[in-house]
Amino acid sequence: MPLSAVRLLAPCEPSKVIAVGLNYRSHLGERPAPAEPGLFAKLPSALIGPEDEIVIPVDASNVHYEGELVVVIGKKAKNVSVVDAADYVFGVTAGNDVSERGWQRGDLQWLRAKASDTFAPIGPAIVTGLDYNDLLVQTRLNGELRQSERTQDMLRDVEAIVSYISRYVTLLPGDVIFTGTPGTTQAMQPGDVVEVEVEGVGVLRNTVVAATAKGGD
C-alpha cells in the first residue's frame, strides 16, 4: 500500500520508556556535566505516532519540544557490559521528549512534566543498521530549524546508556530509550508543527493542540 493511504502508529509498544537528561554539553548551559547519567521515566501511555497531536493540558503553560535519538531494545538486557551493549539494540527512531518546564521545576517528581498523555511522540519507523553514534538530529518548529547536532556529541554514547540502565532496570524487547536533547528548546503553542528528523530514519511530524481542542478529554 502507498504510505499516503495508511496512518502510521508509534512503531513499537514498549513495556517501559526510559530517558536520559543532560546528555549534550550544548544543552547544559552553565550547569556542570552530571557525574552519572540522569535517568527518568516516561509512561507508555504518553506515546503517540507520526502526525498524531501533541495535546497541551489545560493547566500547562510552558511546554517545550526536545528532539532526540530514540533507541529500541531488541532482546532482554540485564547487567549488560558496555562492550556487549550493541548486541541488545534492535534499531533507532526519532523522538520528541515533550516537557512542561514549570512542572519539571516545581513537582516532587517529573511524572506530569514528562509523562503526560501525548508527551512522547516517536517514529516514523525503527531503522536498523545505522551508525547511531554519529547521526544528525534536527528539530524544526513551523519549518524553522531550532536544534541541530550529531549524536557523536552525546556525553554518553548509546552503548554506555544501555549498559548503565541495565544495571538497575531489566530492559525488554521493544523498550525505548530517549537519549537526550541537544541545544536549547522553547515553548510550543497550539497550532505549531514540530518536526524531529534523525538522519537515516526520517521525519517525525506532530501538530500541537490545546486540550480544549480535543473536547476536554
What are the sequence ranges of the domains in the chain?
3-214
Residue 142: which region, alpha, beta or left (left: phi > 0; alpha: psi -120 to 50)?
left
Instruction: Round to whole Å and give the CA distance between 186 and 197.
Output: 17
Q: Around Cβ 11, how many Cβ atoms within 10 Å?
A: 21
How many CA within 13 A on the CB side of residue 53? Answer: 13
pTM score above 0.85: yes
pLDDT score for 87: 98
Percent of the chain with pLDDT over 90: 92
Tell me the per-residue pLDDT of 171-217, one tens digit each, with 9 for 90 and over: 999 999 999 999 999 999 999 999 999 999 999 999 999 997 444 44
Cell of 3: 504510505
Q: What is the DSSP string of 103-171?
A: HHHHSSSSHHHHHSTT-EEEEEEEE-S--TTS-EEEEEETTEEEEEEEGGGBSS-HHHHHHHHHHHS-B
CATH of domain 3-214: 3.90.850.10
Tell me the per-residue pLDDT of 72-86, one tens digit each, with 9 for 90 and over: 999 999 999 999 999
Q: What is the dihedral of CA 53, 59, 65, 69, to 10 degrees?
A: -80
**Whether the predicted pLDDT of 46 surpasses 60:** yes
Instruction: Round to whole Å and give the CA distance between 21 and 27.
Output: 9
Identify the helix (H) or strand (E) that includes residue 101.
Answer: helix 101-106
Whose cell is 500500500? That residue is: 1
Instruction: Round to whole Å and give the CA distance between 47 and 114.
Output: 11
